[in-house]
Amino acid sequence: MTERFTNPDLPAIRTLLQHVRTIAVVGLSPRHARPSHQVASALQRCGYRIVPVRPAIDRVLDEPAWPDLYQVPNRIDLVDVFRAPRYVDALVDACLSLQIPAIWLQDGVINEPAALRAQAAGMTVVMDRCIYRDYRQLRP
């Protein structure tokens, strides 16, 4: 039987959100109307440090943007992914290489093999959920 991915339970997600300080948002759009910008902006207002990861832009949300996770000079507690599922494998590889402890795949970003691989390597993985919606619900 094939192993199926399951998200952490709500208490575990609450604990994750309590301990995270720096969130790298992969695919963070500079356009205010985009979901990635709205979610990252809201998380920033809640006290999280947001690190934009997106090639070809210099700044988003008054923070310097980086072309990929390997270029980010400071510690990352969690990677929040606003990219198509086909990019998740490479993002998991980067997280594992950089020893980033958690990855969050936003609504509609579903890559079960990559999520299982990250979990098996010891990462906390949340998939197909909105981090800000969970933050609002759980109030960590």
pLDDT of the residue at 2:
67
Q: Is there a domain that residue 82 lies in?
A: yes
Asked if pLDDT for residue 140 goes beyond 80, the answer is no
Whether 100 maps to a domain, the answer reads: yes
This prediction has a pTM of 0.95
CATH number at residue 116: 3.40.50.720
Number of domains composing the chain: 1
Determine, yes or no, domain membership for 1: no
Range of the domain at 99: 10-138
Q: Is residue 81 in a domain?
A: yes
Residue 92 CA: distances (Å) to CA of 82, 111, 136: 13, 10, 26
Average pLDDT over residues 22-31: 97
> Both tokens of residue 61?
């949300």
Per DSSP, helices labelled H in 3-139 are 10-19, 35-45, 88-98, 112-120, 131-138
Tokens encoding 86: 């086909």
Please report which confidence band the pLDDT of residue 1 belongs to, taking 50, 70 and 90 as the band edges: low
pLDDT digits (tens, 9 = 90+) for 40-93: 999 999 999 999 999 999 999 999 999 999 999 999 999 999 999 999 999 999
Q: Is residue 5 part of a domain?
A: no
31 is a domain residue: yes
- Is residue 3 one of the residues assigned to a domain? no
88-98 helix and 112-120 helix, angle to the nearest 10 degrees: 10
pLDDT digits (tens, 9 = 90+) for 125-139: 999 999 999 999 998
Within a domain: 2: no
